[in-house]
Structure 1
Amino acid sequence: MITIRRDDPAATRHIITIGAHQLVADMSVASGGADAGPDPHDLYDAALGACKALTMVWYANRKGLPLGDVGVAVTRDNTEERAGVYRLTATITLGGDLTDAQRAELLAVAGKCPVHKLMTAVETRIETRLA
């Protein structure tokens, strides 16, 4: 279970608890927050980047590919979000003594990470209720 609790009744900062881990979420100053942490859109976008990175590392380890450093930069274009289009671009940097074919293989694997699939190919149904 993931829990989110307001940190201070007078602030917008919230503490996210996921198992033994804690993160902070907040709104930007422009949105009325204190910018004490990433906003929910940032966390959503970061989930995609983290999933791509971890999926490539898992795959490279499984296949014995000489993957070194992995970097994923996620940029957002939300100019059409209200019209139903939310665009994310994931730019991947791979280190290690990889051939062009291995780089292409890892790029293809990144496109199949579980969060990418959730964001693009799965219908998510959300129920919101009071405790």
Structure 2
Amino acid sequence: MSIVITRDRSAKMRHTVSVRQHALVVDEPESNGGEDSGPTAHDLYDSALGACKAMTTLWYANRKHIPVEGIEVSVERDDSDERKGVYRLLVTLALTGPLTEAQRQELLNVASKCPVHRLMTQVTTEIRTELKSTSD
């Protein structure tokens, strides 16, 4: 699968992210030279974690017939030490439905093991950036 990001030259910093048949806008806030017309790349990174936790929790609840009704995930970022190599995310999981405390704890445990959480904390990511040939 390929994700393509294309500059939108009608704006200062805006780009369009294309994933399969989906498209979304990314931008920077005005304080960083953008127009704040969409989330930043950091916002998408943090959102990926929250979305993964929500979907993993629902998938597991459905599989185990746990009667969860509502799922809301909040992600709070503390990037004050990012340049020192520490990026902190506080995730809060709100669950509604006729759940026992044991089921709530089980779902919290499952959310803590979502694939993106593991990817962010347990996997070495190797990234290679290269220029596309101008003859293409």
TM-score by length of 1: 0.98
Tell me the equivalent position of 1:107: 108
Report what 1:124 is aligned to.
125
TM superposition shift of 1:30: 0.3
Structure-to-structure mapping, 1:27-46, within 5 angstroms? 27-46=28-47
Structure 2 counterpart SS, 1:79: coil
Residue 104 of structure 1 and its aligned partner are, at CA, apart by 0.1
Give the letter aligned to residue 7 of structure 1. D
Q: Which residue matches 2:51?
A: 50
Cα distance in structure 1, aligned partners of 2:12 and 2:87:
28
Residue 130 of structure 1 aligns to a residue whose secondary structure is: coil
> Which is worse superposed, 10-19 or 87-96?
10-19
The structure 1 segments of at least 4 consecutive aligned residues displaced by more than 3 Å after TM superposition are none
1:13-59 CA distances to partner (integer Å, 9 max, x unpaired)?
Answer: 10000001111100110000000100000000000000000000000
Q: CA deviation at 1:7?
A: 1.2
Q: Which runs of 5+ in 1 are unaligned?
A: none
Distance in structure 2 (CA, Å) of the matches to 1:39 and 1:114: 22
Q: How does 1:89-104 map to 2 (within 5 A)?
A: 89-104=90-105
Give the SS at the match of 2:42. Answer: helix
| 1:9, distance to aligned residue in structure 2 (A) | 5.6
SS in 1 for 2:127: coil
Count of paired positions: 131
CA–CA distance in structure 2, aligned partners of residues 93 and 9 of structure 1: 39
C-alpha root-mean-square deviation of aligned residues, in Å?
0.8
For structure 2, the 5+ residue unaligned runs are none
Q: Given residue 16 of structure 1, which amino acid in structure 2 is its aligned partner?
A: V
The percent of aligned pairs where both chains have the same amino acid is: 56
